[in-house]
A and B are shown apart, each in its own frame.
Chain A
Amino acid sequence: MAILSILDRERSIAPPGYNRWLVPPAALAIHLCIGQAYAFSVFKTPLTQLLGIKASIPGDWKMSSLAWIFSIALGMLGLSAAMFGKWLEKVGPRRAMAAATICFSGGFFIAAIGVKLHVLALIYLGYGFLGGIGLGLGYISPVSTLIKWFPDRPGMATGMAIMGFGGGAMVGAPLSTLLMKFFQTQHSMGVFETFLAMGAIYGAFMLFGVLTVRIPAPDWKPEGYIPPAQPKKLVTTANVDVGKAWHTPQFWMLWIVLCVNVTAGIGILEHAAPMIQDIFPGRISKDAATGFVGLLSLFNLVGRFFWSSLSDKIGRKGIYLLYLLLGCALYAALPTVGRSGNVVLFVASTCLILSMYGGGFATIPAYLRDLFGTMHVSAIHGRLLTAWSTAAVLGPVLVNYLRDYRLDLGVARAEAYSMTLYIMAGLLLLGVISNALVSPVDQKHHHVEA
């Protein structure tokens, strides 16, 4: 169809003189929406009371069945990012962002039908499967575009976009709660209407990103920007094809670095509320524990921009060494901080850890660009995100199962997390070693221009 030609790569090339600061809002529009996935838990309780309304009754969905929705979505995020990265490089960010919009927004509509008909499989299919594809496509779509627009500050550029993903939960959670309150009646939890409204709102918001994203002309560079004659040791001016990149040791070293950094962070984030209540028994109310989770999310967001921007100054290898070493020291110190009873120090330490967790996410595309060049960075980034999917399973499992195991052994609740935290510190040490082993990619892998 002729109208769809607006999505063509050629149609999204910016005219001369285009202000590059118009591009980050397009990326943010996508990431702010898909980041809603981290706020899906606000729907969990209402979804278990769709029939009973005031409380769950026989026939209502179980919490354990609902947990699969988020798992499917995150699994599909990793898979679709890995599978469609190469396609995205070919068709350009606009078409890929449009596909992400259709999948993410359409996922809400299908899930709404699932709520109306009370068919859980439709929610798995809609929000989980289709929405998850939208997550993966949307996550990687703007990354290489921003790196191309900001060759002088790639860390800051990717930090800006990926910061939006962190902020998505902060918008998604209160928005969902507000909408459910608005649509709730004596006979309905308001979830059906909320899903429909969110599908429409997010669809429109993402469309703004689709229509405003621009890629620079191939010969474009920022005014006054002169690429360094002698690039830093790890920074290449060549490009490596995605098919070759993931056969290099550098790819797998970074995979390990991302996986351990995310495993450690997600383990705390996922279990933050009960953890702080267990470690400081009787001192942290339920509201305060919820506030703690919010604070961690805020530092996760700020860290994405702050640390990633800082990586432009001190280099990607250096910043990861900082994340991993400082993270290791903080994890190892947390049990002692807990025993000391100092809530403020505990909160400050975990906030710093979470800021570096976010920083790890946001800096990785720039690290990949340094090592493998700009040309295939989205596709390579997509494949690296399988480390995230792995960590999303590993982190919570480590925290939850080890806690239960220790409690079964009769360990006091306040001490139940010590072993997990020491294991996390050990994992980060493994990341330090992997990061130290990262070296420039062998020239034999470089892309040969036709």
Chain B
Amino acid sequence: MNSDKITKIVLFSVSFIILFIAGGMVFSLVGGAIPSFKTFGLGFITSSQWDPTEGKESYGALPFIAGTLITSFAALIISFPLSFATSLFLGEYYRNTRVAKVLGTMVDLLAGIPSIVYGLWGFYVLRPFLIDIGFENQGFGVFTSSLVLAIMIIPYATSLSNEIISMVPNDLKEAAYSLGSTRYEVIMHVTVPAARSGIFAGYILSFGRALGETMAVTMLIGNANIIPDSLFSTGNTMASVIANQFGEADGLKLSALISIGLLLFVITGIVNGIGKLIIKKMN
């Protein structure tokens, strides 16, 4: 066998590790989830009982699924005007200027702040502030978590939208200008429609990010195993319940937490898949 062939085989087998990890991940999560799904069946997803008392253990993930979707969706809505404005600032109004470079770096750094630091900031700065201005009584719960989540996901939506917005061909915009449009009209009637699907994909991907965020949410949501009934209610998300309850878990409870991990894996996989598909279609 010559060295070229060996090289090719080495490249192939090393990259196979990626497939192996992903396959093993699905295998292990499903394997770990089997005991709880066997015991509770589909009830695991539809029940909102979470009772670790020995002898009458009962686990249902509905409050956490609901908590995850509600906080992430609220975060998406809060982040929308902010990241939309920022991507117009970076990709349209001040494209290729020094101020855009500085602002862009700062947005990137937002993505670099560790989740636990966001949690501390939310707990010691944002929470007292929300209470002071009379917006919240307790400061814990869905709204505070969503607000911090929104800040955390802004960079993901912004970077993609900004890239797509700055790629809209100049001819299109110039045509509208030549017809007497103002810049606002050009943005709303030419730039945004042309970049629509890219902007949309950016929001889907940032939603996917929000679904799996753990530490900041764990510190702010109040950790109550209930389905949140309002924006100011406390709750728990899939990621936060794993972080909170993992320490004392074995047996059926461990399996229930792994099942929640599996559900989280599947849900984020679907959401990210949709986002990637839209991007692929655009190219």
Do A and B pair up? The answer is no
- The chain A residues found within 8 Å of chain B, CB to CB, are none
